[in-house]
Structure 1
Amino acid sequence: MNLPEYEYRGLIAEAWDVLRGDTSNWADRHFYLAVIRQYGQPVLDVGCGTGRLLLDYMQQGIDIDGVDNSPEMLAICRHKADQLHLQPALYEQYLECLALPRKYQTMLVPSSSLQLITDLAAVEQVMARLYEHVLPGGVIVASFMTLWQAGEPLTSEEEQTAVRAADGVAFRRVARTWFDPVSDCEHTEDVYQKIIDGHVVEEALYRRSPATRSYSQSQARALFERAGFQHVRLLSGFTNDAAKPEDRLFTVMGHKPLAV
């Protein structure tokens, strides 16, 4: 299988936590924690990145591992873990060929990470590998976003700047996107800048084409059902309420049957 180059590297990785800011009260943090408490451990954080959820949950005594395909994001996660005197089990693997040493009662796929896999055959393979790593009777929970709807502009641009508190270094990101309704995929072009004392000391351009696949609620449900998950529920955002037809952000929860 030809795997794509991992995306989160260089300035993207270095600026990731800075540009995200304080995530301690993000709704998904509380939602996934409630899921873990309801359905149990051990837990796998899929696309754990720099450890936003994983390290927080470890500090609360949760048995949780992480997997990501970016060695640079995982290096940042390990550095943060060292500062917290934690020793997480982190795995550098692509989901298309996921092979971990144990299986999990609860699997989290936050930040719409499944949508980064744009090839339809590849995402089916990913779902098969995830299914294999859920314990019988276990649960998988994943967030999704519908990126575009008919009548909306096909292009967008946004700019974001944030300062790293530790040293005053600033990072700027200028993001441009193009959506293709035929393929249901978004294409991106991001410029990252590292700024010290008002001067750009490093700049990098990142292009991904395609970058992200959009999902309707019905498409996301079908993806989980084809993989073998049962009692699939669609939830509104990060709540326990059933997803409404107009919800652009929704969470999919599926159960692996006890008898497999």
Structure 2
Amino acid sequence: MSNLPYYDDTGLSAAFYDVVSSAYPFRGDIDFYADLVGPAGSSVLELGCGTGRIVIALAERGYGVFGVDLAPAMIQRAAMKCERLPPEVGSRIALMQGDMTRIVLDRQFDGAIIPFYGYAHLGTPTARADALAVVARHLKPGGKAAIHLPAHAMLRQPLGDEELSGPYNAAGDSVRIRVVARTFAEDTGRFRQVMEYTLIDPAGTITRQSREELVYHAVDRTEIVRNAERCGLSLAGVLGDFDGSDTGREAIYVFVRRETAHTSVESYGVPD
């Protein structure tokens, strides 16, 4: 069985993304982002919004949220979830399929976030610099941005017995999700993880299966801070978890948009 790219339209990772993300031990991320942006009624740009977990949670608290994701399968699922919301909540949400390194909107926001390792999907220094320029372009002066990355120690964790399983519909069909391979290349900072998704009917017969490859890239602190400064974002702090601790399995960078900023999305980062 060949590996599909993660979030591929023909795979299963988008359909069961919420199952996998719920298994991660994030606590307090919604509170953190709400506090970062400001009072209810403020506007938020979320780059890499996935299936809309954070978009919806912030909209339910009264924030206006614009969510962007590169994967059509993910943004489609976010849209389906938003359609089921009460009108007063759904009206606060806008969604767009797009590239976080290239989008140009005709507005600025009170805050911007790139949650749940979305920035780590970007595979070159140039792409990461361009994404920071997009953040700066769309932040109001004084607005704050948060970029959630995995700490390098987390990327180095060896493969263990990692499996999720359970029913997923009223008919009694079940899904089994396993991590079947994991590598981290110290020289390139490339993290690769292969997830196997298996659908099983009530009789125990496998009805569908896919293996999908998730890739992250370790981001050097010097690189992200340097490129942020170049486009008008000043570092306010780096946290190890959403509870405010300095150390942990996460690396949450918080930036503030200066009064003047270089907001061109043309590449100006270090060479690839």
Indicate the SS of the match to 2:127. helix
Q: Larger relative contact order (C-alpha < 8 A, sep ≥ 6)?
A: 2
Give the corresponding residue for 1:133: 138
Indicate the SS of the match to 1:212. strand
CA contact (8 A) 2:48 2:69 kept: yes
1:249 aligns with 2:250: yes
- 1:8-27 to structure 2, matched below 5 A, reads 8-9=7-8, 10-21=11-22, 26-27=27-28
CA contact (8 A) 2:5 2:212 kept: no
CA contact (8 A) 1:7 1:70 kept: no
String of CA shifts for 1:104-139, please: whole Å, max 9, x gaps.
Answer: 110011102101112222111221122111112211
* TM-superposed deviation, 1:90: 0.3
The one-letter code of the counterpart of 2:206 is V
- 1:1-260 to structure 2, matched below 5 A, reads 7-9=6-8, 10-21=11-22, 26-37=27-38, 41-85=42-86, 86-87=90-91, 88-148=93-153, 158-164=162-168, 166-175=170-179, 176-197=181-202, 198-207=204-213, 211-215=215-219, 217-241=221-245, 243-244=246-247, 247-260=248-261
- Cα 1:121–1:231 change in 2 (3 A) is closer
In 2, distance between residues paired with 1:25 and 1:237? Answer: 8
Indicate the SS of the match to 2:253. strand
- The number of aligned residues is 250
Higher deviation after alignment, 183-192 or 15-24: 15-24
Could you tell me the TM-score, scaled by structure 1's length? 0.84
Could you tell me the TM-score, scaled by structure 2's length? 0.80
User: Percent identity over the alignment?
Assistant: 21
Higher deviation after alignment, 40-49 or 72-81: 40-49
Higher deviation after alignment, 225-234 or 89-98: 225-234
CA contact (8 A) 2:141 2:258 kept: yes
Indicate the SS of the match to 2:254. strand
String of CA shifts for 1:212-236, please: whole Å, max 9, x gaps.
Answer: 1123555544443344311431123
CA RMSD of aligned residues (A): 2.9
CA contact (8 A) 1:141 1:252 kept: yes
Question: Any unmatched runs of 5+ in structure 2?
Answer: 262-272
CA contact (8 A) 1:18 1:163 kept: no
